[in-house]
Amino acid sequence: MKVFVLGIDSAEPELVFGKWYSELPTIKSLAEDGAWGKIASTVPPITCPSWVSGLTGLNPGHLGLYDLRYRKRGSYTEFGIVSSRMVSKPRVWDVLSGRGKKCGVVFVPVTYPPVPLNGFMVSSFLTPTTKSPFTYPRSLKEELFRIIGGEDRYIIDVYDYRRKDPRQLMEELRAKTEHDFKIIRYLLKKPWDFFMAVVMSIDRAQHTLWKFFDREHPRFVEDPELKDGLLELHKQIDEELAKTLELLPRDTAVIVVSDHGAKRMYFRINVNEILAEEGFLKLREKPRRVTSLREADEKGLIDWDKTQAFALGAYIAQVFINVEGREPRGCVKPGEEYERVREEVADGLRKVRGPSGEALNNVVYMKEDVYEGEKLDVMPDITVYFDNLHYGVNESLGHDSIYSLETAKGPDDSNHGEYGILVVYDPEGRVKGRLSGYRMEDLARLIMMLQGD
Amino acid sequence: MSEEKVAIYIPKSLYEKIKKQVEESGGEFKSVEDYIIFVLEELVKEEEEEEVYSPEEEEEIKKRLRALGYL
């Protein structure tokens, strides 16, 4: 059976299946004729590793991926950007290609550079520029440029959105969604057995447009024009999906899925400030202005020989213990000392309170509780969801406080949520009703099952 | 490549399958040999942290991710 998957990055179940359900007739009818429910994202609930986990069917510990970036070997703060070459396990299309099935893979995150498959591939937002070889086969790029009216009209992503007027951002995101579906529908006319596309506009929108509809948001803004901005973008995708479904053969199974959700964000916690205050992170000198962890490291402000723990992350805190033998200048002995230090750090972060002293619902995961696999060594030792993701994180140093409202990163209304959406329409009715207990890693098996494996 | 080469036998049916893919690749691969070398090199180097992006490209993407709030 043919399988069509639409990924809506960051679509939140509380909005899609709750508040806005009746306004999204296409998704609603797929769900009512098929099955629907929440799908648990990976730890952390970030585009990478979530999509990669979903499409390999593997826990991030097998992949060694914990963010869109990674720490380069032998360094603390030198970061590389994840690419398709780092995905060392087969994804659904690799397996299906091997079985002679035709695959279309369009805008799926972590597919740059594109890899040969039995079919075609268009890379996602980590494509450097339109000059880069972002399609397989290479010649497909020219076809796409033709479809959308020239190379200069090809949109890789919507950039710099924090500095833009929200109205302009809305326009750009609408244009991006239109552009993406134009390409999707064009490519659907080529032969395929498995087709998957991911649209990013909801993810991009939520960070800036959340405060206009959510009256409980601490920075709620009354604006009649933008009140329905985020809803409008959802409706646009729903309408585009309806037009797209018309092109599918009758016996096609359809999945609509998101890699994580979203929720309102109150503040960001300056997690390395906490680690420095508690003596786990040793600074030779405290930066006088806000300084990225990378810059502080380059300037030699961090005394790694005496540092026991440091954190990375923008939305989720990912703490690494400075373990001897594993880290370049590790000083915490593996075994008992590691366990003790890690417990102390975790305990300190678990107790972090809000700016008025209120208790927060902090969720702390130890590495072995959430990860398994041969690449456990590179995964963070502790992951913290402050106030279960209602608080984000800054890794920079030189803040006056452990809380940041607006940061060097610009305003941000929402954090990622730990659940995504899952809608499955199976013409044979094998999957029906309310879904529960699905995890991102189950996506690959679900696709293979529907496909007829 | 002027490197010394060795001969390896593969099943004819696999060869035919690859040949078909080469033909459909739109000129991406010149021959079955070209294809096999590419795939095997991909496989062998997968464990390395290979630099896919040039330093300029990496900076550009980091700038974007920073603007998106991810870094």
List pLDDT tens digits, range A255-271: 999 999 999 999 899 99
The b/e string for A309-328 (b: 16+ C-beta within 10 A; e otherwise) is bbbbbbbbbbbbbbbeeebe
**Nearest-neighbour CA in chain A from B39: distance (Å):** 8
**Interchain proximity A112–B52, CB inside 8 Å:** yes
Residue of chain B minimizing CA distance to A313: B71
Q: CATH number of the domain that A88 lies in?
A: 3.40.720.10
Residue among B29, B47, B70 whose CB faces A88 most closely: B47
Q: What is the CA A250 to chain-centroid distance, rounded?
A: 32
Task: Say if residue A223 is in the same domain as residue A277.
Answer: no
Per-residue pLDDT tens for A27-65?
Answer: 999 999 999 999 999 999 999 999 999 999 999 999 999
Task: Say if residue A378 is in the same domain as residue A234.
Answer: no
Give the model's pLDDT for residue B43: 73
**Interchain proximity A116–B25, CB inside 8 Å:** yes
Binning pLDDT at 50, 70 and 90, where does residue B4 land? confident
B7 against A244, higher pLDDT: A244
Task: Say if residue A280 is in the same domain as residue A396.
Answer: yes
Give the model's pLDDT for residue A410: 63
Residue of chain B minimizing CA distance to A102: B21
pLDDT greater than 70 at residue B50: no
Residue of chain A minimizing CA distance to B18: A118
Give the model's pLDDT for residue B1: 47
**Interchain proximity A126–B58, CB inside 8 Å:** no
**Interchain proximity A126–B61, CB inside 8 Å:** yes
In chain A, which stretches have pLDDT less than 50? none
Chain A residues with CB under 8 Å of B23 CB are: none
The b/e string for B28-38 (b: 16+ C-beta within 10 A; e otherwise) is bbeebeebbee
Question: CA A43, CA A94: separation in Å to the nearest integer?
Answer: 24
> Looking at the complex, does the CB of residue B46 fall below 8 Å from at least one CB of chain A?
yes
Chains A, B: CB pairs < 8 Å: 90
How many domains, chain A?
A: 2
Task: Say if residue A247 is in the same domain as residue A275.
Answer: no
Pairing outcome for strands A79-81 and A135-136: unpaired
Pairing outcome for strands A392-394 and A268-270: parallel
Domain that holds residue A295: 268-411
pLDDT greater than 70 at residue B48: no
Task: Say if residue A124 is in the same domain as residue A94.
Answer: yes
The whole-chain average pLDDT of chain B stands at 82
Task: Say if residue A203 is in the same domain as residue A287.
Answer: no
Task: Say if residue A29 is in the same domain as residue A55.
Answer: yes
**Interchain proximity A81–B39, CB inside 8 Å:** no
Task: Say if residue A291 is in the same domain as residue A393.
Answer: yes
**Interchain proximity A80–B68, CB inside 8 Å:** no
Structure-block tokens of residue A102: 């035709």
Task: Say if residue A197 is in the same domain as residue A324.
Answer: no
Residue among B26, B50, B67 whose CB faces A137 most closely: B26
- Alpha helices by DSSP H, A64-198: 92-98, 140-148, 166-187
> Looking at the complex, does the CB of residue B31 fall below 8 Å from at least one CB of chain A?
no
Task: Say if residue A251 is in the same domain as residue A296.
Answer: no
Give the model's pLDDT for residue B39: 86
**Interchain proximity B57–A138, CB inside 8 Å:** no
Task: Tell me what percent of chain A is helix, strand and coil, each rounded to the nearest 5.
Answer: 35, 20, 45
> Looking at the complex, does the CB of residue B21 fall below 8 Å from at least one CB of chain A?
yes
Chain A residues with CB under 8 Å of B35 CB are: 116
Residue of chain A minimizing CA distance to B54: A128
**Nearest-neighbour CA in chain B from A19: distance (Å):** 26
Per-residue pLDDT tens for B28-38?
Answer: 788 999 889 88
Chain A residues with CB under 8 Å of B25 CB are: 116, 137
Question: CA A403, CA A398: separation in Å to the nearest integer?
Answer: 12
pLDDT greater than 90 at residue B47: no
Task: Say if residue A188 is in the same domain as residue A275.
Answer: no
Question: CA A52, CA A89: separation in Å to the nearest integer?
Answer: 9
- Alpha helices by DSSP H, A251-396: 271-277, 293-298, 336-350, 367-370
Give the model's pLDDT for residue A98: 92
B47 against A102, higher pLDDT: A102
DSSP state, A14? Answer: I
**Nearest-neighbour CA in chain B from A336: distance (Å):** 31
Give the model's pLDDT for residue A271: 97
Question: CA A387, CA A359: separation in Å to the nearest integer?
Answer: 9
Task: Say if residue A186 is in the same domain as residue A332.
Answer: no
Residue type (1 letter), A46: I
Give the model's pLDDT for residue A406: 65
Residue of chain B minimizing CA distance to A117: B21
